[in-house]
Structure 1
Amino acid sequence: MSSAIADAPVSGAPEYFIPAANSLQERRPNTLKHGDTFAVFDHNGDAYSGPGSPEGLFHRDTRHLSHLSVTINSARPMLLSSTLRDDNATLTCDLTNPDILNANGALILPHDSIHLRRSRFLWNGSCYERLLVRSFHEKPQRVEISIAFAADFADLFEVRGKVRKHRGQLHPAETTRHEVRLRYTGLDALERTTRIGFDPVPSRLTDTSAVYEIVLAPGESRSLFFEINCQREPVVPIGHRSFFFALRDARRALRASSGRAASIMTSNEVFNEVARRSISDLYMLITDTNEGPYPYAGIPWFSTAFGRDALITALETLWLDAEIARGVLAHLAANQAKDFDPLSDAEPGKILHEVRFGEMAELREVPFRRYYGSVDSTPLFVMLAGKYLQRTGDLATIRKIWPNIEAALKWIDDHGDRDGDGFLEYGRRTEDGLINQGWKDSHDSVFHADGTLAKGPIAIAEVQAYVYGAWEAAALMLRVLGQEDRALEFTQRTDDLRYRFDQVFFDEELGSYVLALDRDKKPCRVRSSNAGHALLTGLAFPERAGTVIKTLMGGSSYSGWGIRTVPTTESRYNPMSYHNGSVWPHDNALIALGMARYGYRQEAARIFEGLFAASTYIDLRRLPELFCGFPRQRAQGPTFYPVACIPQAWAAAAPVSLIQSCLGIEFQTKSMQITFDTPFLPDFLDELEIKNLGIGLGSVDVAAYRSGSRVMIDVLERRGSVRVVTLI
Structure 2
Amino acid sequence: MAYEIGVGPAQLTINVGDSVLITEVDGQIHQPSERGLFFRDTRLISAWTVTVDGRGWQVLNSAATDHFAAQVVMVNPTLPKDAGEVPAGTVSLALSRSLDHGGMRESLKLRNHNRSRVRLCLAVQVSCDFADVFDVKAHRIVVRGETCTHWSPEEGCLATVHTNDSFRRGLWVGAADGAARPVLRDGALCFPVELGPQQSWSTDLDYRWIDGDDTLDAPSVAFAGRERSRPAAALRDWRDGAPRLRTPHNGLQQLYDRSFDDLAALRLPFEGTDCKAFVPAAGIPWFAALFERDSLITAIQTVPVYPDFARGALEMLARYQADATDDARDMQPGKIPHELRRGEMAALGLNPFRPYYGTADATPLYLILLHRAWQFTGDRSLIERHLVTAERCLAWIDDYGDLDGDGFQEYQRRAPDGAENQGWKDADNAVLDESGDDVPAPKALCELQGYVYDAWRRMAQIYDALDRPDRALALREKAQVLHRRFNAAFWDEDAQYYALCLDPEKRRVMSVSSNPGHLLWSGIVPPERAEAVARRLMAEDMFSGWGVRTLSADHPAYNPHDYQLGAVWPHDNGVIAVGLAQYGFHAEAARIAAGLIAAADRFMLHRLPEVFAGTSRSDAPFPVQYLGANVPQAWAAGSVFSLLHALMGAWVDARSCTILADPHLPDWILELTLLDFTVGQQTVDLRLFRDGAETRIEILRGPGVRLVRRPFATAVEYL
What TM-score range do you get, normalising by the shorter chain? over 0.9
**Structure 1 residue 27: deviation in Å?**
4.6
The answer on 1:55 being equivalent to 2:35 is yes
1:288-332 deviations in Å (ceiling 9; x for gaps): 214831111111111100110011111111111111111101110
Contact 1:129 1:243 in 2 (8 A): no
Equivalent of residue 18 in structure 2, options 23, 36, 44 = 36
Give the Cα–Cα distance (whole angstroms) in 2 for the partners of residues 202 and 361 of structure 1. 37
2:717 aligns with none
Contact 2:251 2:597 in 1 (8 A): no
The answer on 1:723 being equivalent to 2:706 is yes
1:593-634 deviations in Å (ceiling 9; x for gaps): 111111112211110111111112211111111111111136
1:145-167 deviations in Å (ceiling 9; x for gaps): 22111111111111112747661
2:415 aligns with 430
Contact 2:73 2:93 in 1 (8 A): yes
**Structure 1 residue 545: deviation in Å?**
0.8
The answer on 1:685 being equivalent to 2:677 is no
Give the Cα–Cα distance (whole angstroms) in 1 for the partners of residues 504 and 248 of structure 2. 52
2:524 aligns with 539
Query: % of aligned pairs identical?
Result: 36
Give the Cα–Cα distance (whole angstroms) in 1 for the partners of residues 240 and 387 of structure 2. 29
Q: Map 1:207-606 to 2 at 5 A.
A: 208-231=187-210, 244=225, 247-290=228-271, 292-606=277-591
The answer on 1:185 being equivalent to 2:166 is no
Q: Which region of structure 1 is more displaced relative to structure 2, 619-628 or 256-265?
A: 256-265
> Structure 2 counterpart of 1:252, which letter?
A
**Structure 1 residue 40: deviation in Å?**
1.1
Give the Cα–Cα distance (whole angstroms) in 1 for the partners of residues 318 and 191 of structure 2. 52
Q: CA RMSD in A?
A: 2.4
2:715 aligns with none
1:410-445 deviations in Å (ceiling 9; x for gaps): 000001001011000000013221111111111221
Equivalent of residue 651 in structure 2, options 649, 666, 669 = 666
Give the Cα–Cα distance (whole angstroms) in 1 for the partners of residues 402 and 700 of structure 2. 50
1:110 alignment partner, SS class: coil
- Decide whether aligned partners of structure 1 residues 423 and 40 sit closer, same or farther in structure 2, where only a CA change above 3 A counts: same
Give the Cα–Cα distance (whole angstroms) in 2 for the partners of residues 252 and 351 of structure 1. 33
1:164-197 deviations in Å (ceiling 9; x for gaps): 76611121433334110011112x3322221001
Equivalent of residue 132 in structure 1, options 86, 98, 109 = 109
1:200-219 deviations in Å (ceiling 9; x for gaps): 23452247321222223344
2:678 aligns with 694
Contact 1:236 1:242 in 2 (8 A): no
Q: Which region of structure 1 is more displaced relative to structure 2, 370-379 or 234-243?
A: 234-243
> Structure 1 counterpart of 2:267, which letter?
I
Give the Cα–Cα distance (whole angstroms) in 2 for the partners of residues 129 and 237 of structure 1. 10
Contact 1:35 1:125 in 2 (8 A): no
> Structure 2 counterpart of 1:221, which letter?
S
Equivalent of residue 56 in structure 2, options 72, 76, 81 = 76
- Decide whether aligned partners of structure 1 residues 497 and 34 sit closer, same or farther in structure 2, where only a CA change above 3 A counts: same
The answer on 1:109 being equivalent to 2:87 is yes
1:504-557 deviations in Å (ceiling 9; x for gaps): 101122221110011111111111100100000101111111100100000000
Q: Map 1:698-709 to 2 at 5 A.
A: 698-709=682-693
Give the Cα–Cα distance (whole angstroms) in 1 for the partners of residues 143 and 190 of structure 2. 34
**Structure 1 residue 70: deviation in Å?**
1.8
> Structure 2 counterpart of 1:36, which letter?
D
**Structure 1 residue 682: deviation in Å?**
3.8
Give me the TM-score of the superposition, normalised by structure 1: 0.91
Contact 2:180 2:204 in 1 (8 A): no
**Structure 1 residue 690: deviation in Å?**
1.2
**Structure 1 residue 25: deviation in Å?**
7.8
Contact 1:226 1:238 in 2 (8 A): no
Give the Cα–Cα distance (whole angstroms) in 2 for the partners of residues 405 and 208 of structure 1. 55
The answer on 1:145 being equivalent to 2:128 is no
Q: Which region of structure 1 is more displaced relative to structure 2, 158-167 or 169-178?
A: 158-167
> Structure 1 counterpart of 2:557, which letter?
R
2:44 alignment partner, SS class: strand
2:516 alignment partner, SS class: helix
> Structure 2 counterpart of 1:209, which letter?
A
Give me the TM-score of the superposition, normalised by structure 2: 0.92
**Structure 1 residue 73: deviation in Å?**
3.6
- Decide whether aligned partners of structure 1 residues 226 and 234 sit closer, same or farther in structure 2, where only a CA change above 3 A counts: farther
Give the Cα–Cα distance (whole angstroms) in 2 for the partners of residues 165 and 65 of structure 1. 15
Give the Cα–Cα distance (whole angstroms) in 2 for the partners of residues 268 and 80 of structure 1. 33
Give the Cα–Cα distance (whole angstroms) in 2 for the partners of residues 381 and 159 of structure 1. 31
- Decide whether aligned partners of structure 1 residues 106 and 553 sit closer, same or farther in structure 2, where only a CA change above 3 A counts: farther
Contact 2:118 2:195 in 1 (8 A): yes
1:8 aligns with none
5+ long unaligned stretches in structure 2: 1-5, 712-719
- Decide whether aligned partners of structure 1 residues 105 and 588 sit closer, same or farther in structure 2, where only a CA change above 3 A counts: farther
Give the Cα–Cα distance (whole angstroms) in 1 for the partners of residues 256 and 51 of structure 2. 37
Give the Cα–Cα distance (whole angstroms) in 2 for the partners of residues 374 and 422 of structure 1. 18
**Structure 1 residue 572: deviation in Å?**
1.4
Q: State how many pairs are aligned.
A: 697
1:711 aligns with 695
Give the Cα–Cα distance (whole angstroms) in 1 for the partners of residues 513 and 595 of structure 2. 18
Contact 1:56 1:63 in 2 (8 A): yes
1:167 alignment partner, SS class: coil
Contact 1:27 1:42 in 2 (8 A): no
**Structure 1 residue 490: deviation in Å?**
0.8
Contact 2:135 2:142 in 1 (8 A): no
> Structure 2 counterpart of 1:102, which letter?
P
Give the Cα–Cα distance (whole angstroms) in 2 for the partners of residues 94 and 42 of structure 1. 13
> Structure 2 counterpart of 1:724, which letter?
L
Q: Which region of structure 1 is more displaced relative to structure 2, 545-554 or 655-664?
A: 655-664
1:77-115 deviations in Å (ceiling 9; x for gaps): 222222223x523212222334x142799752231x333
Contact 2:116 2:197 in 1 (8 A): yes
1:28-79 deviations in Å (ceiling 9; x for gaps): 32222223222212211222231xx221111111111111122234332222
2:599 aligns with 614
